[in-house]
Amino acid sequence: MAESPIREAVTAVLHHGDEILMVRRHPALAAFPGYWAFPGGKVDKADSDAPHRTTPWCAAVEPRLVEALARELREEIGFDLDAACEAGDVEAVHLFGNALTPPILPVRFNTLFYRIDLKHRPKITLDMGEVDQLRWARPEDLHAEYLDGQLLLAPPTSASVALFAAGGGTEPANVALEEFHKERLPIIQAVHGLRKIPVRSNTLPPAFHTNCFLIGDEGSNVILVDPSPWNDDELDALTERMRPFGINEIFFTHHHPDHNERADVLARRLGVGIALSADTSARISERSPKFFSGLTQRLVNDGDIVTYWKGRPVRAIAVPGHDEGQLALMSADRAWCIVGDLIQGVGTVVIHKPEGNMRRYFESLERIIELDPKVILPSHGLAMGTTFRLQETLRHRRLRESSVLELHRAGRSISEMLDVIYKDLDPRLLPLARDNIESHLDKLREEGALV
């Protein structure tokens, strides 16, 4: 897996009085959907043609970066940086850090963070295609909200908020994510107290990793969710990375190998048992009869408390469809929900027999949408703010099903449906697309829609 090229980006923290401005990225965006962030974006080639500005603070900043800052502020929140400078409303601009996106992500940025001190709170006009909410708040309040697990933040953003809450942000400081370059297996807390470790796994393209989650208050049942290292070297690295955390149990969301490969070896090394649904246990045992040899199993049912997070129960939720025994995990306050392969941030979910059922998959999507957790955490890709992506997935699947039904009534074969519905798909994935079409037909047959 080759590392992605690194692009330049800028971020602006507008500061007035004792408050800073944050915006929520639109849940439909591909990158960091539904995250709270600061206005900003990538530096475009056209920014290099920008004229040199005469404002004193601009002298220390490359003109193309100033242009990128001004453009992003204008486009995202309707704030005219040049006009504010001319009116004397900009008191100071401080470069306070940078952050380099880790190699595990498909698009990487080296982002420079600027704090802009304002005399007056500006009028804001949101670009609803980019951001859908804004808030002015004290950094201390934002930091407390994040520590309570109620604010979805990318690591550089949470580091910036913590810096401001501690009274910093006027001098260059380190908000770079050095741990991503020092640690082979980085730990990411977009939701505080919910540690995500992207582990290289033998999963389906375009994904390369399965998200492994570490959850549990000190003194409660600390669980490791879906460890599935792709080779022995990755297993060794994961073992050593996890030893200091006092893990009590490994939890499987479902039986597919990219969620539990080599997890039996890891469990024996750590001296812990495995929690999972009865269906998942049976399917893994059938695939690998010696998998659970010498290991304690705890069978988990819908509604069972699995652990505690920030004093709140974390319960299992049955979400069959992709896999009959699949379990999600959700905090009692619905701050977040780990959904396994109910949805993916990278690629698409495949429904195939014998463990898959499209009708039950639709029902599971509907169930989590109705529960309405604030953050969705899939097994592949980034966390997502709100249930927007679940709703869009359900809408898309319904449209796909309508196409399948229409083509079936027109007498088209499954192969002919593939040519119409998946005409631009990577040929390697066509067998999986066929599975999805067959599952749609099975659902329509169950519901009596096929004659």
pLDDT in tens, 331-383: 999 999 999 999 998 888 999 999 999 999 999 999 999 999 999 999 999 99
State whether 294 and 387 are in the same domain: yes
Inter-residue contact 142 to 165 (CB < 8 Å): yes
Spatial distance between the Cα atoms of 315 and 125, rounded to a whole number of angstroms: 40
Q: What is the pTM of this model?
A: 0.94
Predicted confidence at residue 179, as pLDDT, reads: 44
Q: What is the DSSP letter of 341?
A: T
pLDDT in tens, 43-97: 998 888 877 777 777 777 888 899 999 999 999 999 999 999 999 999 988 888 8
State whether 205 and 162 are in the same domain: no
For residue 113, tell me if it sits in a domain: yes
Q: How sure is the predictor about 429, in pLDDT bands with cuts at 50, 70 and 90?
A: confident
Supply the range of the domain harboring residue 254: 183-400
Inter-residue contact 281 to 295 (CB < 8 Å): no
Predicted confidence at residue 184, as pLDDT, reads: 81
- Helices 430-446 & 388-409, crossing angle to 10 degrees? 80
For residue 415, tell me if it sits in a domain: yes
Q: How sure is the predictor about 102, in pLDDT bands with cuts at 50, 70 and 90?
A: confident
Spatial distance between the Cα atoms of 101 and 428, rounded to a whole number of angstroms: 30
244 pLDDT more than 70: yes
The residue out of 154, 180, 206 marking a domain boundary is 180
Average pLDDT over residues 265-293: 98
Inter-residue contact 90 to 57 (CB < 8 Å): yes
Predicted confidence at residue 180, as pLDDT, reads: 47
181 pLDDT more than 80: no
Inter-residue contact 72 to 10 (CB < 8 Å): yes
Report the CATH number that the domain containing residue 344 is assigned in CATH. 3.60.15.10
For residue 317, tell me if it sits in a domain: yes
| H or E stretch covering 338 | strand 337-340
Share of the chain above pLDDT 70, in %: 96
For residue 1, tell me if it sits in a domain: no
Domain count within the chain: 3
Average pLDDT over residues 6-15: 94
- Which residue, 199, 233, 195, is CA-closest to 215? 195
Q: What secondary structure, in 3-state letters, does 21-65 show? A: EEEEECCCCCCCCCCEECCEEECCHHHHHCCCCCCHHHHHCCHHH
State whether 390 and 437 are in the same domain: no
130 pLDDT more than 60: yes
For residue 67, tell me if it sits in a domain: yes
For residue 451, tell me if it sits in a domain: no
3-class state of residue 274 by DSSP = strand
178 pLDDT more than 50: no
Chain CA centroid to CA 448, Å: 37
pLDDT in tens, 282-323: 999 999 999 999 999 999 999 999 999 999 999 999 999 999
For residue 38, tell me if it sits in a domain: yes
How many CB atoms are closer than 10 A to CB 441? 19
State whether 131 and 218 are in the same domain: no
State whether 385 and 415 are in the same domain: no
Report the CATH number that the domain containing residue 125 is assigned in CATH. 3.90.79.10
State whether 135 and 231 are in the same domain: no
State whether 106 and 228 are in the same domain: no
State whether 51 and 143 are in the same domain: yes
Mean pLDDT lowest for which of 199-208, 253-262, 386-395, 437-446?
A: 199-208
Inter-residue contact 313 to 322 (CB < 8 Å): no
Inter-residue contact 190 to 35 (CB < 8 Å): yes
243 pLDDT more than 60: yes
Q: What are phi and psi of 363, to 5 degrees?
A: -65, -40
Average pLDDT over residues 154-164: 93
Predicted confidence at residue 176, as pLDDT, reads: 54
**Bridge partners, residue 126, by sequence:** none
For residue 275, tell me if it sits in a domain: yes
- Which residue, 292, 347, 15, is CA-closest to 168? 15
Spatial distance between the Cα atoms of 281 and 295, rounded to a whole number of angstroms: 12
Average pLDDT over residues 102-120: 86
32 pLDDT more than 60: yes
State whether 277 and 248 are in the same domain: yes
The residue out of 163, 180, 197 marking a domain boundary is 180
State whether 111 and 226 are in the same domain: no
The residue out of 180, 199, 228 marking a domain boundary is 180
State whether 227 and 316 are in the same domain: yes
Predicted confidence at residue 63, as pLDDT, reads: 87
Helical ranges in 59-122 per DSSP H: 63-77, 81-86
State whether 156 and 220 are in the same domain: no
104 pLDDT more than 90: no
